Amino acid sequence: MLTGAVPDGVFFTFDTVALPPREQREALMMELPRQLLSPQNDPVVQFMPMDSPDSTEMESLNVCTVERKSLEAMLAPLRRGRLRADELVHPLLMTKPDDPAIYLPGIDPEFFFRDRRFHKVGGDDSELIAAEAEWRKNFGKYFSSDLSSADLRELFPVLLVARGVISGDFRNHRKELQMLPKEVHPVRFRGQLRLTALLLAALIAAAAWRCGRERWHDFREYREVAAETNMLKNKTSQMKTAIARSAKEQKEIAKVLNSGTDNREVLRDLAAISKLLPPNVMLSDFRWNENEIALTMQSENENLDLSEVFAPLRGWKLSDVQHRNARQSAITVINAKLVPAVRNAGKNTKNGRKTKGARNRK
């Protein structure tokens, strides 16, 4: 912490309405033209509240103002030496209303400060000697030291500011005292902050890795369970389809057996159909009843002419043919229906013109 007076700086006391630090600083900037004999260019202000006079809504301020160019000129050696400081505090900012006389010959050798006013230094210095004894007692409450009069006068600005720091005034009114730019403030604990950031990043990465690994394990188990479930569903569906197909075939067989058709005729016709099928055609399914024969065949020949194949078959006539290509295979699935030739002819006759004419004649 630096203490002293900046060249061309001005110190004064001021009674004003109690305001927050930011608003109080703005109010002081507007009040400066009335308090200064000559206006300042781009002033920088710092202030410290003292005890309130009479009203609780008013407060007394110690104010120090300086031009920014003078402050920058004073900070130039610090920047060249790459030195840093927390704050620059004018010694008189830390005074209290009941303090003894304050004489700072290094700042102003012709005046001393007492009762919030500057007084001319006269030939009789008894008051300053008595004030020095009172200041020794005052500083003794905060420091343990035995200084000579010369050392006390030399260190008086430092001890005055140190008293305010120890008593907590600097900590409680840090915003009001801010005058130095941020680039000259010290950067403390940078290494600790970097290490803390690295540790936090490592902890976050480890937690993320552990969480991701657990989630991946859970997802893999879920995928395996889902695959087994789908496989069981497919097997169940296939079994249900096979059972339904078997039940349907049993119904067809039962229907054929109960239709009264001679079993020897069925076997004869089935043998005739089997003989007529070419070698590259496989009969995979058939359904037989008294009205039709439904055949399901598989063949690698896409242009198979079933009309020519079943032309020699007696008693049955090809009624319907559907071709369907199997998935991912060169085999063609053929669905065909055979109906009795005589009944089909009778049906055509019944639906033809002769039947209609006969019906009209009747």
**Residue 74: enclosing H or E segment and its boundaries?**
helix 68-80
| Residue, of 190 and 359, whose pLDDT is higher | 190
Question: Whole-angstrom Cα distance, residue 2 to residue 186?
Answer: 13
The winner for highest mean pLDDT among 55-69, 119-133, 198-212 is: 198-212
What pLDDT is stored for residue 236 in this prediction? 93
Distant-in-sequence, close-in-space partners of 227: CB < 8 Å, separation ≥ 6: none
Q: Residue 265, SS3? A: helix
Average pLDDT, rounded, for the chain: 82
Q: Residue 102, SS3? A: strand
What pLDDT is stored for residue 230 in this prediction? 92
User: Is pLDDT above 70 for 235?
Assistant: yes
What pLDDT is stored for residue 359 in this prediction? 34
Question: Whole-angstrom Cα distance, residue 325 to residue 249?
Answer: 24
Question: Whole-angstrom Cα distance, residue 257 to residue 262?
Answer: 9
**Helix (DSSP H) and strand (DSSP E) numbers for the chain:** 11, 11
Report CA torsion sign: 197, 198, 203, 209: positive
What pLDDT is stored for residue 232 in this prediction? 93
- Specify which residues 98 forms β-bridges with: none
Question: Whole-angstrom Cα distance, residue 113 to residue 91?
Answer: 11
What pLDDT is stored for residue 185 in this prediction? 83
What pLDDT is stored for residue 127 in this prediction? 83
Rounded to two decimals, the pTM is 0.50
Question: Whole-angstrom Cα distance, residue 340 to residue 109?
Answer: 139
Distant-in-sequence, close-in-space partners of 50: CB < 8 Å, separation ≥ 6: 13, 59, 60, 61, 62, 95, 96, 97
DSSP secondary structure letter of residue 92: G
User: Is pLDDT above 60 for 347?
Assistant: no
Domain boundaries, the chain: 2-186, 190-258, 260-361
What pLDDT is stored for residue 258 in this prediction? 67
The winner for highest mean pLDDT among 42-51, 142-151, 304-313 is: 42-51
Residue 251, Cβ density class (10 Å: 0-12 exposed, 13-18 middle, ≥19 buried): exposed
Q: Which numeric CATH code is attached to 260-361?
A: 3.30.980
Report CA torsion sign: 240, 246, 251, 254: negative
Task: Give me the phi and psi of 331, to 5 degrees please.
Answer: -85, 140
